[in-house]
A = this chain, B = another copy of it.
Amino acid sequence: ERRGYPEAVYCEGKTDAQLVEIARQVVRAGTPTLFTRIRPEQVDVLTDALPDAVYEPTGRIAAWPGEAPAAVGGLVAVLAAGSSDAAVAVEAHFTARHLGRPSELVIDVGVAGLHRVLGKLDLLRAARAIVVAAGMDGALPSVVAGLVGAPVIAVPTSVGYGAAFGGLAPLLSMLNACTPGVAVVNIDNGYGAGHLAAQIAAP
């Protein structure tokens, strides 16, 4: 366990045997652990090895133990610009909850429909930390940061095609946010964004 927060296992490149062995150690040591970027064919292996874990398919993430700790600290708000960005936003939301924060999730509030963003002002102004996931033009964090005083963690997503270049376009856009109060994590790194938001909103 790292500085009081759960461990995280990055499942992408792990073999089934490695996952089973890690699961065994997790249970033996009783370490609260998140499993991230679980490939579809790994789900059964993991849930067989850790029956009391909870698996969240949209965010391809699991937690052991399955129940999130009681929510303490400030509110974490998680926004997804498009419905295709939901996977990353869910990963962030799930992470923040399992690190012990209250968290609210809002999907599909892109800048093409400003009224929907403005309709969430109350939530945004109540938050202690805001995660914004967006692909393509990555414009949402600049707009959100202009509306609130809380720090904004921007997560570029690989949603898009062509000159989105796998998330490079929103990554650069977010790094150049014209509003102060925005910091950026790796493309599709919902886990990292949720972790950081939980640290910021810690009691």
Task: Name A's B-contacting residues (CB within 8 A).
Answer: 2-5, 8, 10, 12-14, 18, 37, 81-84, 110-114, 118, 129, 135-139, 142-143, 145-151, 153, 156, 158-189, 191-193, 195-196, 199-200, 202
Contact = CB atoms under 8 A, between A and B. Distances in A.
Contacts of A148: 3
8 A-B pairs with least C-beta separation: A162-B187, A183-B183, A139-B139, A169-B172, A3-B149, A136-B176, A112-B179, A173-B173
B163 A187 contact: yes
Contacts of A149: 3-5, 199, 202
A49 B195 CA distance: 40
Contacts of A112: 2, 142, 145-146, 178-179
A162 B171 CA distance: 10
Contacts of A114: 114, 118, 143, 146-147
A82 B13 CA distance: 11
B171 A176 contact: no
Contacts of A161: 12, 37, 186-188
Contact of A163 (B14, B82, B151, B171): B171
Contacts of A165: 172
Contacts of A184: 175, 183-185
B180 A175 contact: no
Contact of A137 (B2, B164, B176): B176
A175 to B, nearest CB: 4
Select the residue from A142, A161, A176, A178 with max chain B CB neighbours within 10 A: A176
